[in-house]
Each structure stands twice: as C-alpha cells, then as structure tokens.
A and B are shown apart, each in its own frame.
Chain A
C-alpha cells in the first residue's frame, strides 16, 4: 500500500477514506490498526474522521498516545505526507503535528451540512490542481471550532498555512479557519470531509481536487492511471 489509513478504536470514516483513495483516485490504500507499526513503503498517511476513543477527555486526546503515533511522528519529521480529516485533524493538533486546538462549536450542536469554503490561493498544490476559489465540502462535527493563541495565528497567516476558510462560519472558528498545514507543507489538517465529495451520487465532486492536491507528490512520483 502507498496510502495508509490509520484505524483507531472509534474511527468511523476509515472505510470512506480508503474507498476514495483506492477506488476513486486509484492509489493502493489500506487500513492500519493503531497498535500496528506503519508499514514500509507507505508514502502518505490519512488520519480519518470518527470518534477515536469515544472523544473521551478531549477529541484526539487519547489517540495521541496510541502505539502508531511515534511512527507517524517520525514519518512526518522525514517529510512524509500526512492528512488529518475531522477527528484526524483533532488528533494531529493534540499530538503537536499541527498547531492549535479544536473546541466545541459555538452553537453547541453537531453540524452536518454542505459547507461553502474559500480556498486560499497561496497553496501551490491547490493551484496545480486548479481548485476553484470557492468549494463546497461536507462537514460533520461537534467540535470544529479552531483556536490558537495570537502568536500562532499570526505565524499561520504570515506563512500562508491556512488552506481553507469557512464562508459563512458554522462553528465560531477563529479567522474562519477550516483547514491548515504545517510550516514544512507536508502535514495537512481539515475539518471538512473531502472523501465525501468524490462520486457522482455525492452532493458535488469538490473533494477530488483537494485529495489530489494532498496526494500530489505520490501522483507525480508514480504515474498512476486516474479512474476519476
């Protein structure tokens, strides 16, 4: 497998992520149990959505201590591609692979809807994939309200690390932030679910260029036939 999808107890978008990468984009993907090591030869890792460890204590707080996380940390340190979606984003923030934290939506309720997002055009990979200025992606979360202190925020904005912004804002997230990347540009995290917008029965196909942008280094390094 080239793309590993980490399965924690309570992950529930692991199948969806695998399906979108394997059957829609056409890269070999597989699920890896959180107690197992990250397999050799993996070029990208997706930390999928769900309720890892029931979201007990805080979203992502317990998953952060899973055995696989040390492998993931070194994989990211070596420049490996990592994408956290929804609960995966929360786990990456908890583990320090991405800055900031996600707290309860300001409406205090879970929100599941097709969300309009503004694409930040500062991301080269997004530009190569010719992302539209405005996208629609499904969101489904109760704790997607991004928080970071002023210093971190200033850095994020100055380094063009914000990927996507809500328009309008469904959860009170600061600076309307829906997704970010790390400074090195290899670790992505976002609350919206690109894997739920890749097939003709989905509300739209806007997730496809987002996933392809993330997987770009793999798509370039190995000429894979795209089935989409």
Chain B
C-alpha cells in the first residue's frame, strides 16, 4: 500500500514561506486569495494493510521524524497502489 503524509505548519505558527507565496500571489492580481500555507508531502510504500497497528506505526513515524509537533501538524492517506 502507499502512504502519503501531508505535513503543514501549525496554524498558530508563523509560516514565512506561506507569507512570501501569498504576497507573490497578490502581486499577480489574485486579491481574493489568502491564508496560504506551504507544507510538504512525504510518500512511501509500506507492506501490510490499513489496520490500527499499522496506523500506530505511521503515527509514531510522523510524530518523531516526519513532523515536529512543536511547529507542524500532519495527516496521512493510505491507498492501495
């Protein structure tokens, strides 16, 4: 199965990259757009199926390595690719 992890800056934390991108978007004339946040996605193949144990394992991975809980949130999707 394929796991896609989406990591994004916490809403309470300043996101300089998001702010810069938002400024660029506005300078292109798209004034109705706001709240830009720039995160990252991490994808990997994993053996097994979508079980609570597997989800535990992914959570541990996300909480320690793939995201920093001080500044980032994460969510993930599991697909059968």
Q: Chain A interface secondary structure, helix, strand, loop or mixed? A: loop
A44 on the B face (CB < 8 A): no
Q: How many residues of B contact A (CB 8 A)?
A: 15
B71 on the A face (CB < 8 A): yes
A149 on the B face (CB < 8 A): yes
Q: How many residues of A contact B (CB 8 A)?
A: 21
- Whether B65 and A103, one on each chain, are in contact in the complex, defined by CB atoms closer than 8 angstroms, is no
- Whether B68 and A101, one on each chain, are in contact in the complex, defined by CB atoms closer than 8 angstroms, is yes
Residues of A within 8 A of B17 (CB): 104, 108
What are 13 A-B pairs at a CB distance below 8 A? A57-B66, A61-B68, A65-B65, A93-B70, A101-B71, A103-B9, A103-B14, A103-B16, A103-B71, A104-B17, A108-B17, A108-B20, A145-B16
A residues neighboring B (CB under 8 Å): 57-58, 61-62, 65, 93-94, 99-101, 103-108, 145, 147-149, 172
The 9 closest A-B pairs by CB, nearest first: A101-B70, A101-B71, A104-B16, A106-B16, A108-B20, A147-B13, A101-B68, A108-B16, A147-B71
